[in-house]
Structure 1
Amino acid sequence: MAWIKFAPLNIPLNRRLQTAAVVQWVFSFLFLAQCGLLLYVWLALECWQGAVLYAIWLYLDWETPQAGGRRSPWVRSWPLWRHFRDYFPIHLIKTCDLDPEKHYLFGFHPHGILVAGAFGNFCTEYTGFRKLFPGMTPYLHVLPVWFHFPFFREYLMSSGVVSCSKQSLMHVLSQKGGGNVSIIVIGGAAESLEARPGSLILEVLNRKGFIRIALKCGAHLVPVFSFGENELFEQLQNPHGSVVRRIQEGLRRTLGFSLPLFHGRGVFQYSYGIIPYRRAIYTVVGRPIPVQMSVWASAEEVDQLHGRYLEALSQLFEEHKTQYGIQQHRHLIFT
């Protein structure tokens, strides 16, 4: 059909491997949790002993996602993730050194649709985090609900993903000796509804919980901007007040996460599908904002540090935007 652009047959093997790696990742992100739940139901029906044993394990292991998780260097080093990185490709850019004797809280922006940059940079070993920031251990924090799905929770934790609950953040950022990095995608589900090519809208003005955590733990704040994150998918127009947006907001308030109506490309054609486009991602890690521990921080302290963070985030964006394809006259929009 004329309106579908099909992939050529003579694609090099390395590009086919890259596409396969991304297909696996998209499937895991969107469907693996449900598959884990179905697997547990099957166990309960066909092998109840296995279901009981896993239920006991789940009971004993329930708090692990809030206590640093259970990362697997082997899983994080799968060659699969090298192909995943090269598909876009994903780049991690450092602007200054981090002191491994301190803890840091990275605020990651923007959310995008599937936060490919956050996963590629902080949940795999193939964009050079350990070489760029020696002595530092990254923890990507996600919604606690994902750790309620049987088997999927183990897969998540193996890559260094942990819960974004207050307890989890406090655990990571309060360890003696320093060297931990908590990564939070600040805009969350609300921001994903704005994720489309060209969008610079960040849901951040009323997001101050991470500021309170940083003050409580004395963790230094670091703004991180991932150029290209919003370019990976197209999204159905959903302006505020529209029927689509009202339904999406209602689902977000009820379920805790949103359902962006997006599309990218397919496996064998470039016009329709749920595979992200091949567009480069440049994740730039900014300069730390020193934070003095304040266990009982006042609202004024929180607002002051939040303002400093927004200023640093804007400065980071302005310093690098033209280098990564954004026109000089364009600026971040905070909502």
Structure 2
Amino acid sequence: MKIEFAPINIPLRRRIQTFAVFQWVFIFLFLAQCCLAVFVFLIFTSYWYIAAVYTVWLYLDWETPNQGGRRSEWVRNWTIWSYFRDYFPIHLEKTTDLDPQYNYLFGFHPHGVLVAGAFENFCSEATGFRKLFPGLTSYLCVLPFWFKIPFYRDYIMCAGLVSSVKSSVSHILSRKGGGNVAVIVIGGAEESLDARPGALTLRILNRKGFIKLAIKRGAHLVPVFSFGENEVFNQVNNPKGSFLRTMQERLQKIMGFALPLFHARGIFQYSFGLLPYRKPIYTIVGKPIIVQQNHTPSNQEIEALHRKYIEALNKLFEEHKAQYGIPERGHLFFS
């Protein structure tokens, strides 16, 4: 394989952008393991008391990820997230204003490999979420597994991440006065196994829990489609029924998260590595679907709203696909 090296005379700004993305990939793939290793290391050193004190803190703070987390506006406004945005670049666009007197459940599609668009748009202020949607506060819901890891949990909560368990999402959507947005990546970890350039398959047909929760809490549903999310990484071929896909699906059921074998470019060369490609991501926030609160929704009510949501999502995609490079023959596939 011929390696294409990066030019030496790359502007400093682009080098900083690359570093910003490198540290983000590190956070996603390796920081949790590092934090756990540090915690275990402390236990067997003369600094064991730090681990002991933190264990008590962990016990007392265990439910915080399920109760809105502990966001830090300082962390969300770090300059590094602006460099991260400009690397791709990532854009956040709205189709209509959202009234802050209501709570909203954003359904984010597609998952992609590392949900770059969801993180940048809803866990930082670099793309202007607060300016586009004044009065709204966003919370990105992720697997509860990550909040069990010492130190790591505290860091990711600073960005506005919360647990995706039902009680956590319900807590956000039940807050009085409105202005809260729970962002759920509907396809979940399973969808990441199909994330590759050109992929337009969304796992949603059997995902109805978020619909039921929106009805029970009276939260308006908003479809969100992120054009380019699947374009920033390649993935090892893993068709349904293959040995690799079977193992990935088994591991996903055991661990709760998927392990896509992805690759893209490196830091100093463009031929291989774990850094995403510099390809634009456009995250489009659709129009809200008004939801009437019902604490005991029937199956028919859930099914009807689910169909309405899929129709709204498909309409959002069709109205914007030509603008963002999807050919006319390109259509969403729901599974």
Interval containing the TM-score (normalised by the shorter chain): over 0.9
Unaligned segments of structure 2, at least 5 residues: none
Tell me how far apart the structure 2 counterparts of residues 116 and 83 of structure 1 sit (CA, whole Å).
Answer: 13
> What does 1:96-135 correspond to in 2, within 5 Å?
96-135=96-135
| Pair 1:239-2:250 in alignment | no
Q: Which residue of 2 aligns with 1:224?
A: 224
**TM-score, normalised to structure 1's length?**
0.99
Q: Which residue of 1 aligns with 2:283?
A: 283
Show CA shifts across 1:248-272 (max 9, x none): 0000110001100110100000010
> What does 1:79-94 correspond to in 2, within 5 Å?
79-94=79-94
Q: Which residue of 2 aligns with 1:256?
A: 256
Tell me how far apart the structure 1 counterparts of residues 74 and 42 of structure 2 sit (CA, whole Å).
Answer: 27
Tell me how far apart the structure 2 counterparts of residues 40 and 280 of structure 1 sit (CA, whole Å).
Answer: 38
Q: Which residue of 2 aligns with 1:183?
A: 183
What is the letter of the counterpart of residue 11 of structure 2?
Answer: P
Q: Which residue of 2 aligns with 1:15?
A: 14
Q: Which residue of 2 aligns with 1:44?
A: 43
Q: Which residue of 1 aligns with 2:293?
A: 293
What is the letter of the counterpart of residue 68 of structure 1?
Answer: G
What is the letter of the counterpart of residue 29 of structure 1?
Answer: F
What is the letter of the counterpart of residue 249 of structure 2?
Answer: E
Tell me how far apart the structure 1 counterparts of residues 256 and 51 of structure 2 sit (CA, whole Å).
Answer: 28
Q: Which residue of 2 aligns with 1:270?
A: 270
> What does 1:54-73 correspond to in 2, within 5 Å?
54-73=54-73
Offset at 1:153? 0.1
Offset at 1:57? 0.2
Q: Which residue of 1 aligns with 2:156?
A: 156
Tell me how far apart the structure 2 counterparts of residues 319 and 38 of structure 1 sit (CA, whole Å).
Answer: 48
Offset at 1:48? 1.4
Show CA shifts across 1:103-143 (max 9, x none): 00000000000000000000011101001000000000000
Tell me how far apart the structure 2 counterparts of residues 266 and 48 of structure 1 sit (CA, whole Å).
Answer: 38
What is the letter of the counterpart of residue 89 of structure 2?
Answer: P
Tell me how far apart the structure 2 counterparts of residues 257 and 299 of structure 1 sit (CA, whole Å).
Answer: 28
Show CA shifts across 1:243-300 (max 9, x none): 0000000001100011001101000000100000000000000000000001111111
Tell me how far apart the structure 1 counterparts of residues 283 and 77 of structure 2 sit (CA, whole Å).
Answer: 20
Tell me how far apart the structure 2 counterparts of residues 195 and 184 of structure 1 sit (CA, whole Å).
Answer: 17
Tell me how far apart the structure 2 counterparts of residues 52 and 132 of structure 1 sit (CA, whole Å).
Answer: 44
Q: Which residue of 2 aligns with 1:29?
A: 28
Tell me how far apart the structure 2 counterparts of residues 185 and 12 of structure 1 sit (CA, whole Å).
Answer: 35
Tell me how far apart the structure 2 counterparts of residues 216 and 3 of structure 1 sit (CA, whole Å).
Answer: 56
Offset at 1:329? 1.1
Offset at 1:8? 0.2
What is the letter of the counterpart of residue 236 of structure 2?
Answer: L
* Partner SS, residue 230 of structure 2: helix
What is the letter of the counterpart of residue 45 of structure 1?
Answer: F
Tell me how far apart the structure 2 counterparts of residues 25 and 182 of structure 1 sit (CA, whole Å).
Answer: 22
Offset at 1:29? 0.5
* Partner SS, residue 113 of structure 1: coil
Tell me how far apart the structure 2 counterparts of residues 186 and 227 of structure 1 sit (CA, whole Å).
Answer: 15
Tell me how far apart the structure 2 counterparts of residues 50 and 159 of structure 1 sit (CA, whole Å).
Answer: 24
* Partner SS, residue 283 of structure 2: strand
Show CA shifts across 1:157-216 (max 9, x none): 000000001110111000010000000000011100000000000010000010011001
Q: Which residue of 1 aligns with 2:140?
A: 140
* Partner SS, residue 68 of structure 1: coil
Tell me how far apart the structure 2 counterparts of residues 292 and 247 of structure 1 sit (CA, whole Å).
Answer: 42
* Partner SS, residue 294 of structure 1: coil
Tell me how far apart the structure 2 counterparts of residues 172 and 11 of structure 1 sit (CA, whole Å).
Answer: 44
* Partner SS, residue 139 of structure 2: strand
CA RMSD, 1 decimal:
0.6
Q: Which residue of 2 aligns with 1:334?
A: 334
**TM-score, normalised to structure 2's length?**
0.99
Identical amino acids, percent of aligned pairs? 64
